[in-house]
Chain A
Amino acid sequence: MMPEEITYYALVDDYSSREKPGGVVRRIRREAGQQDEAFTGELVWKPTWLLHSAERGDTMNDFYPITEDEAMRIVDRIRSESGTSS
């Protein structure tokens, strides 16, 4: 059985930077197929099409592949900014 493979991306928009990304998205590849998810303001991962949109030329956001460690730092920051610690 194919192990789950996850690639994380930093989401950078007009109001954020590569140094302080505005969000984090992950692409999960499983045997049954793949799914993209964003870490939301509700502090849960939810499906998103924004990465596919960028792959189809949309320039609203830039997505930079990042390590799981950096992804979790972004998640922790989002949690702390929402007033909830991890």
Chain B
Amino acid sequence: MEIERLDEADAVAVDREQADDQGVAPPETRDQQAYRAEYRATVEAAYTWDAAALELRQAWEAHETKWPSPEDADRDGDRSLNPEANAEVERGCGQIREIAENVITPAMRAIESEDPDRHLIGLEHHLKGTERLKEKVAAELEARPGLSAAQALASVPDAIRFTLCCSEERYVAGVTVALERLTACGFELAKRPRNSWDSDQYKGINTQWREPETGQRFEVQFHTWASFEGKQLSHAAYERIRNTRTPPAELDELEGFQRQVCTKIPIPPGSTEITYAPRREHDA
């Protein structure tokens, strides 16, 4: 990024003799002040997310050097599903895939195409893997006594998931319109959106929707490019946090790393205030 420098002719000569006599630095001229402010703003703007991302990758590499990767907790068998629950999830995965391909994904592509500033990213990962689904169901069954595998699977919000990336400048408008379009498509908001823009662990908005014919849940995340990259950058840290074999001392540092990532992500104007309640038919 070029830094525009003031013409030397604009600079005013400083009375150095006077300053030396008095032992006081001469006051800056207004042009010099303006120049410094402009220069500072330019330098700060030049410290882009790309530069921050590079630093964060280096910080993660340093963490991995300090903390070797823990054993995969899932290999210990403690968190596997019983045969009945396992079969329930496997059955469900087929149905989920069909609903995604025939109903939800086409609708999301249509919503994306309506706004050039809004993009679906990571679409190749829009279906949660079967093993990851089993992990989630197993974790839920463990923490939620009395729940059945079918109930746990039905309430997984992100078996089907999408990420819409909006520009920072038009984030609020982009998110608001997308939410309205999802509602207009007939999808039902299953829960109040989780707005994490003021969180120190994660930045973005996660929404949970229901396809009315089948009741199938799906998730739509709203990010800027920086917050999406931040999520990707901190994913490995999150995976370690999820691993019950990770030492408690490392957990503190992992949370610290997520916090570090979040501090670098620019907050789109107005993003922390975004809430959404769908308009009902009888509302004026």
Contact = CB atoms under 8 A, between A and B. Distances in A.
A56 B205 CA distance: 10
A59 B249 contact: no
B5 to A, nearest CB: 44
Interface in B138-159: 139-147, 151, 154-158
Interface residues of B, number: 42
A55 B254 CA distance: 13
A56 B248 contact: no
Contact of B201 (A34, A49, A55): A55
Interface in B185-224: 190-191, 194, 196, 199, 201-202, 204-208, 219, 221
A25 interface: yes
Interface in A36-51: 38-41, 46-50
Nearest to B206: A57
> Which DSSP category, helix, strand, loop or mixed, fits chain B's interface?
mixed
B143 A48 contact: yes
A30 B258 CA distance: 20
B242 interface: yes
Nearest to A28: B248
Contacts of B278: none
B238 interface: yes
A32 B247 CA distance: 9
B241 interface: yes
B142 A60 contact: no
Contacts, number: 102
Contacts of A33: 247-252
Given A50-B139, A60-B140, A32 B151 contact: no
A63 to B, nearest CB: 10
* Residue of B147, B154, B199, B247 most packed against chain A (CB within 10 A): B147
Contacts of A40: 142-143, 145
Interface residues of A, number: 33
Contacts of B251: 33-35
A41 B146 contact: yes
A68 interface: no
A81 B145 contact: yes
* Residue of A52, A58, A59 most packed against chain B (CB within 10 A): A59
Contacts of B158: 58, 60
B245 to A, nearest CB: 9
Contacts of B146: 22, 41, 78, 81
* Residue of A25, A50, A52, A56 most packed against chain B (CB within 10 A): A56
26 contacts: A11-B143, A14-B154, A23-B143, A23-B144, A25-B143, A30-B248, A33-B248, A33-B249, A33-B250, A33-B251, A33-B252, A40-B143, A40-B145, A48-B142, A49-B139, A50-B143, A56-B196, A56-B201, A56-B202, A56-B238, A57-B204, A58-B158, A58-B194, A59-B157, A60-B156, A60-B157
Task: Give the top 4 A-B pairs by smallest Cβ distance, nearest first.
Answer: A33-B248, A38-B143, A41-B145, A49-B242
Interface of B: 136, 139-147, 151, 154-158, 190-191, 194, 196, 199, 201-202, 204-208, 219, 221, 238, 241-244, 247-252, 258
Interface of A: 11, 13-15, 22-23, 25, 30, 32-35, 38-41, 46-50, 52-53, 55-61, 78, 81-82
Given A11-B144, A40-B145, 8 more contacts: A14-B155, A22-B144, A33-B250, A34-B252, A35-B248, A38-B143, A50-B139, A55-B202
